[in-house]
Structure 1
Amino acid sequence: MGRPAVGTAPRRCTGCGGYEYGGAPACDVCRALVDGVVEEGWAEFARDFGEEADEEELAALVAAEPDRHDWRVLDGALDRLVCTGCGGRLGRGPVGCGPCDLAHGFRYVALEPDRPGVPPGNEHAVRVNVSVVRRPHVTSENELLLRRSALPGLLAGLLPTTEEAQRFAAVARRVPWPERAAAVEELVEEMFRRCREEGSLRAGEE
């Protein structure tokens, strides 16, 4: 499964009970869904080269020209390359791994075309949040909470208003744990209600 269609109401996850994608990386089901966003893009790209194509060679070609490919294609390529420094997936190693840090930096020169029907900048937001969720060990607990909580809405084609983004940041700074997660979830629900009223999100399961 890749990402949902634009305007599709987020669904509850069978694993964690939160919204699908938003429980990653702790929830195995949500983590697999987030990985599926990248894998969908890679599979569409690789299909054009046929089954005979060497996947590792193709990945190396993509990684050598990151600014010519969709971000999901680049992320999929990096997943298929082994880091010469730490031995893990290139770009997802520990902080301080030189080759991984370099590859991770190149992620953000990849193409981020917005899908039809989404506000400008939605794809960039999806791209950043997916990156954070798939590389959680290099970010703060606060940022991870905000990024993963916003991801279900972003994947549905939404984008927080400036005021909503400021409220998210304020909650992350001021509300203590463990109340913080519940407070962020309530802000997400408010954003969903606003988008349903505007017609940018179809009514559905909550």
Structure 2
Amino acid sequence: MDTHERRWRSPELARTMASITGEVEAEWSGLCQEWEVLPGTPEERDLARMVAEEPHRFPWRVVDAALDRQPCPECAHPLGSGGRGCGPCDLADGHRYAAQEPDRPGVPPGNEHAVRVAWSVSRAPHRHTFRAVCGYQLCLPHLYAGELPSTPQAQRTRHLINRLTEAECAGVGSLAELAALAERRS
């Protein structure tokens, strides 16, 4: 799914999505070079299929790139990104979490998992609740910058999101805006 065509809720989220997209593509290019596979060839499709079938052997960015390169046989969206209820997409989306998630240098343990989940939810919002999309999209730039909220901080964010309507969740652009909007409801 092309993250450059979508209108994101904030410039920070747009920059973060573009950065991660660049990393995903760079990781895929590196794997193709390592395996001596040219882009756009049947060998690339075979490599993508093999990565998707054995996600535990590869970093998550490689797995996500492999899924993007395979059309779902049922809905024709990139594998794992079709609507909920599409069997092959549901299966692929679940299997993506078997991939390796090594933390980046200088970030708290678990940060990479949080980045990965927020990235997946942000890329396929139609697969998740509007409140989950709101929370993950608002937090992704902070997660990508190396932050990891404490349990009480995450619970507070969720509490604030739960106070908003669906339209408000769709329009809120930052955690500060979320807090101000939700606090007016007190």
Runs of 4+ in 1 over 4 A off after TM superposition: 29-34
Q: Which residue matches 1:84?
A: 73
Q: Which residue matches 1:124?
A: 113
Instruction: Tell me how far apart the structure 2 counterparts of residues 34 and 141 of structure 1 sit (CA, whole Å).
Output: 22
Q: How many residues were matched structurally? A: 168
Higher relative contact order (CA 8 A, sep 6+): 1
* TM-score normalised per structure 1: 0.72
- Please state if 1:56 is matched with 2:42: no
Q: Which residue matches 2:10?
A: 18
- Please state if 1:155 is matched with 2:144: yes
Aligned CA distance change for structure 1 residues 56 and 16 (closer, same or farther; 3 Å): closer
- Please state if 1:140 is matched with 2:115: no
Aligned residue runs from structure 1 range 126-205, under 5 A: 126-176=115-165, 178=168, 181=172, 184-186=175-177
By how many angstroms is 1:175 displaced?
A: 4.1
Q: In 2, are the aligned partners of 1:171 and 1:184 still within 8 Å (CA)?
A: no
By how many angstroms is 1:31 displaced?
A: 5.2
By how many angstroms is 1:138 displaced?
A: 1.1
Deviations 1:121-145 (A, max 9, x none): 0000001001101111011111111
Aligned CA distance change for structure 1 residues 16 and 87 (closer, same or farther; 3 Å): closer
The aligned amino acid for 1:91 is: G
Q: Which runs of 5+ in 2 are unaligned?
A: 1-6, 180-186
Aligned CA distance change for structure 1 residues 38 and 86 (closer, same or farther; 3 Å): same
More helix by proportion, 1 or 2?
A: 2
Q: In 1, are the aligned partners of 2:138 and 2:174 still within 8 Å (CA)?
A: no
Q: Which runs of 5+ in 1 are unaligned?
A: 1-14, 24-28, 189-206
Deviations 1:86-141 (A, max 9, x none): 12211111221111111111011110000111101000000100110111101111
Instruction: Tell me how far apart the structure 1 counterparts of residues 115 and 90 of structure 2 sit (CA, whole Å).
Output: 20
The aligned amino acid for 2:111 is: N
Aligned residue runs from structure 1 range 24-39, under 5 A: 32-39=18-25
Partner of residue 41 from structure 1, selected from 27, 46, 62: 27
Q: Which residue matches 1:111?
A: 100
Q: CA RMSD in A?
A: 2.6
SS of the residue aligned with 1:59? Answer: helix
* TM-score normalised per structure 2: 0.79
Q: In 1, are the aligned partners of 2:10 and 2:174 still within 8 Å (CA)?
A: no
Instruction: Tell me how far apart the structure 1 counterparts of residues 99 and 22 of structure 2 sit (CA, whole Å).
Output: 18
Instruction: Tell me how far apart the structure 2 counterparts of residues 51 and 83 of structure 1 sit (CA, whole Å).
Output: 22
The aligned amino acid for 1:83 is: C
Aligned CA distance change for structure 1 residues 35 and 121 (closer, same or farther; 3 Å): same
Q: In 1, are the aligned partners of 2:9 and 2:173 still within 8 Å (CA)?
A: no
